[in-house]
Structure 1
Amino acid sequence: MNYKIKSLLAIFLIVGNYCVAQSNDQIVEDFESSSVNQPGHVYPMVNSEGRVRTQVFAPDAKYVKLDIGGVKYDMVKDAEGMWTGESAPQDVGFHYYQLNIDGASVPDPGTLLYFGACRWGSGIEIPSDDQNIFAVKDVPHGHVHEILFPSESTKTCRTAFVYTPPGYENQTSKSYPVLYLQHGYCENETSWPAQGKANLIMDNLIAEGKAKPFIIVMTYGMTNDIEFGKLREFDIIPFQTVLVDELVSYVDENYRTLSNQENRAMAGLSMGSMETKAITTNRPDVFSHIGLFSGALYAPEEVKEQSNVKLIFQSCGSKERPEAVQKSTEALKEAGINAVWYVSEGTAHEFHTWRRSLHEFAQLLFK
């Protein structure tokens, strides 16, 4: 190899190492363990930029990637077989993610498990300035009950989670309004209690005097399989039967509810908003308050005959389609319908958008 080639290679190596060093220097090294880690696990970690750093011991693996937000990031193995890598900055809030080890997608063993993306898998919490809305505070707390209710239409016993507000067990002469709250596609009845922190949001709002105490019911919104991208083919009637004809009656019989349309609400995120719109349109005699988070929107002609609708709330993240939400809601208001719109700043199609949406929606219910 002649002198000129050697010199060029040396320059390339120096420049390459300099670029790597510059890249590493740009990462703020203030990582802290995630708030949703398994007990005793240091990784994954999150820094002030919202980057996620994780580790996994896989000495025989040929490659490992961190897969978050639809983007895969290469991880690097040390001499002992420990792989380490980090993501680009993420939006604040909760995100599903996984590790890809030699082509196999698996949960990160360092995190708690959540049902989302059609699987039980890892989750990460990127701290936000307003995470106090679901913080565990020294306030009276309600309870989340897992119930089994009979479903004659599906010939099964189905699961739901029921939140009862603080004091429900002691105030035995008091009855409460009810919100039926639906998850999104590839999620289930555990999603709002776990990822959504619905109970903690309500506990804090009630303690602050910002929301009336009410019951929340969360159940699985699928009665038949539907492929991603074909939600328009979803037949709402089977689930509508489960929710309206079976679950509502079960809840009214087993909990102290105000069992009339005026004191009953329905809301949902993404696919759940589609279900909410369809069911409340088909059965306006059942629900009076409606919440559509990051999904379906109402046109005035779709509700102009429903004079008993008390509220329509529509929301999304600022990285989704806020203009459409605002336009739809303003049209409803011009038609004389009590409608409110809300945009979650700095978030997209993700649970922090929906936590914030519930936080805003709950303050308007049953007033």
Structure 2
Amino acid sequence: MRPDLSRALATAGHLLLLGLLLASVGHAQDAFVPASTNVGGAEYPRVSEDGRVQFRLEAPEATAVRANYWSGPKEDMERDAEGVWTVTAPAVAPGLHYYTFIVDGVEFADPSSRSFYGGSRYVSAVEVPEPGVDYYAVRDVPHGQVREVWYDSDVTGSWRHAFVYVPPGYDADLDTRYPVLYLQHGGGEDETGWVRQGNVNFILDNLIEAGEAEPMLVVMASGYARRADAADEPPPANRWEGLQRMFSVFEDDVTQELIPFVDETFRTIPDREHRAMAGLSMGGMQTFHTTLNHLDLFSYIGGFSGAAIPGGANGLDLATAYGGVFADPDAFADRVNLLWIGIGTDEPEGMYAGVNGVHTALAEAGIDHVYYESPGTDHEWQTWRRSLHDFAPRLFR
């Protein structure tokens, strides 16, 4: 082969390789799209299908900026000549992830992100899509509505706030009555969580349209409660005693105030066979406390990353817990249509061990229940979305 022809072919090969590399880089850049959780028109954060997120912040006078996933990596950001800080964070599990920016040691929400109530304050969050999964997305199906209500509680001596999901067609057929799921948020979050972070309305819309779940009402109330005469009580000795007090007040508010209000205001089927309760984390513990003390009111029970059985050396004395409801497995099965417990496989060791321990104790005692593990997720909303997606189709069948 002539030297000039050989050089020409080599040059052409190099140019082709360079073109392929540039195309690959361009495709990788194009793979990042604005997150669905951004405020209107904001280009950042940007997310990729493999779970990476590009963060950006204009802070020309800052000297150090970090992107701070609450339950994930903390990444130092790089500054350009214009004072714009950027970083591409490593891949995280799909779902909604809380984050903030730490600017010169001070934590800030991202002005480009919508705010969500978590950690007892409003913070930023980025939605990382799960490829091929749309059960919690807005789809072309009939949609229910989320309504905001207030009810006057003698238990707390205050007006209380809640959201109520009504299924598609609720206003079209005024003769139809519906079962009710009472669904609770976790500690540090509030009654907005299941709608704004959990997408409960879209999950139910999609399940109902597919015929996989019964049309139902979903009531989401504030899990924080203080008794009307609490000022006369001595302060709790420790955090656990404080939680137990709050759980007791919440139990009374749900059973004495909220349920009667919902049954009077909405077209419910007001009996235990058509009433369920579930919750995540703290809300799961509240669910166990409320339902197992009131099996006259509930027959479906769910704990998402949260379940508590008090007493015994390991906190699992099934013979005496909740008045001995677990002492007779056959009697329990006759009274409870569903006991459901779930946890994420990557949750903190203590949380995973606690929920898994409840499951193990129930199984050894012969208590019929469903145990679910969300693969690859932490103490986070993707665990609880998946939990609801498994739990809701089992109700009222």
Indicate whether the TM-score tops 0.5: yes
What SS does the corresponding residue of 2:384 show, helix, strand or coil? helix
In 2, are the aligned partners of 1:311 and 1:337 still within 8 Å (CA)? no
Query: Structure 1 residues 149 and 357, CA, compared in 2 at 3 Å: closer, same or farther?
Result: same
* Counterpart mapping for 1:164-183 below 5 A: 164-183=166-185
What is the alpha-carbon distance in structure 1 between the residues aligned to residue 283 and residue 145 of structure 2?
23
Q: Tell me how far 1:281 sits from its aligned partner.
A: 2.0
Find the counterpart in structure 1 of residue 163 from structure 2: 161
Find the counterpart in structure 2 of residue 189 from structure 1: 191
Find the counterpart in structure 1 of residue 7 from structure 2: none
What is the alpha-carbon distance in structure 2 between the residues aligned to residue 149 and residue 214 of structure 1?
21
The answer to whether structure 1 residue 230 and structure 2 residue 232 are counterparts is: no
Q: Tell me how far 1:138 sits from its aligned partner.
A: 1.1
Amino acid in structure 2 at the alignment position of 1:192: W
Q: 5+ residue gaps in structure 2?
A: 1-24, 310-315
* Counterpart mapping for 1:118-267 below 5 A: 118-129=120-131, 131-224=133-226, 230-231=239-240, 233-234=242-243, 235=245, 236-267=247-278
What is the alpha-carbon distance in structure 1 between the residues aligned to residue 342 and residue 290 of structure 2?
18
Find the counterpart in structure 2 of residue 18 from structure 1: none
Q: Tell me how far 1:86 sits from its aligned partner.
A: 2.7
Query: Structure 1 residues 172 and 336, CA, compared in 2 at 3 Å: closer, same or farther?
Result: farther
Which shows bigger deviation, 114-123 or 68-77? 68-77
Query: Structure 1 residue aligned with 2:392, among 351, 362, 365?
Result: 362
TM-score (norm 2): 0.80
What SS does the corresponding residue of 2:335 show, helix, strand or coil? coil
Q: Tell me how far 1:195 sits from its aligned partner.
A: 0.5
Amino acid in structure 2 at the alignment position of 1:184: G
Find the counterpart in structure 2 of residue 340 from structure 1: 370
Find the counterpart in structure 1 of residue 33 from structure 2: 32
Give per-residue Cα distances to partners, 1:273-295, cap 9 Å, x unaligned.
11111111222211110000012
Query: Structure 1 residue aligned with 2:339, among 312, 321, 345?
Result: 312
Amino acid in structure 2 at the alignment position of 1:39: G
Amino acid in structure 1 at the alignment position of 2:205: D
Query: Structure 2 residue aligned with 1:103, among 102, 105, 121?
Result: 105
What is the alpha-carbon distance in structure 1 between the residues aligned to residue 364 and residue 212 of structure 2?
27
Give per-residue Cα distances to partners, 1:253-282, cap 9 Å, x unaligned.
000001111111110000111111111122
The answer to whether structure 1 residue 43 and structure 2 residue 52 are counterparts is: no
What SS does the corresponding residue of 1:247 show, helix, strand or coil? helix
Query: Structure 1 residues 73 and 297, CA, compared in 2 at 3 Å: closer, same or farther?
Result: same
Q: Tell me how far 1:52 sits from its aligned partner.
A: 1.8
Q: Tell me how far 1:120 sits from its aligned partner.
A: 0.9
What SS does the corresponding residue of 1:363 show, helix, strand or coil? helix
- The number of aligned residues is 340
The answer to whether structure 1 residue 90 and structure 2 residue 101 are counterparts is: no
Which shows bigger deviation, 273-282 or 184-193? 273-282
Give per-residue Cα distances to partners, 1:173-218, cap 9 Å, x unaligned.
1111100000011000000011000010000000000011110000
Q: Tell me how far 1:323 sits from its aligned partner.
A: 7.2
TM-score (norm 1): 0.86
The alignment's C-alpha RMSD in Å is 2.3
The percent of aligned pairs where both chains have the same amino acid is 42
Give per-residue Cα distances to partners, 1:28-68, cap 9 Å, x unaligned.
64322111111100000112331221111111112111110
What is the alpha-carbon distance in structure 1 between the residues aligned to residue 363 and residue 394 of structure 2?
16
What SS does the corresponding residue of 1:133 show, helix, strand or coil? coil
Query: Structure 1 residue aligned with 2:383, among 329, 353, 359?
Result: 353
Q: Tell me how far 1:78 sits from its aligned partner.
A: 1.1
In 1, are the aligned partners of 2:42 and 2:112 still within 8 Å (CA)? yes
Which entry has the higher C-alpha Rg, 1 or 2? 2
Query: Structure 1 residues 130 and 324, CA, compared in 2 at 3 Å: closer, same or farther?
Result: farther
Find the counterpart in structure 2 of residue 63 from structure 1: 64
In 2, are the aligned partners of 1:91 and 1:347 still within 8 Å (CA)? yes
What SS does the corresponding residue of 1:95 show, helix, strand or coil? strand
Q: Tell me how far 1:244 sits from its aligned partner.
A: 1.3
In 1, are the aligned partners of 2:33 and 2:48 still within 8 Å (CA)? yes
Find the counterpart in structure 2 of residue 282 from structure 1: 293
What is the alpha-carbon distance in structure 2 between the residues aligned to residue 277 and residue 115 of structure 1?
24
Query: Structure 2 residue aligned with 1:116, among 103, 115, 118?
Result: 118
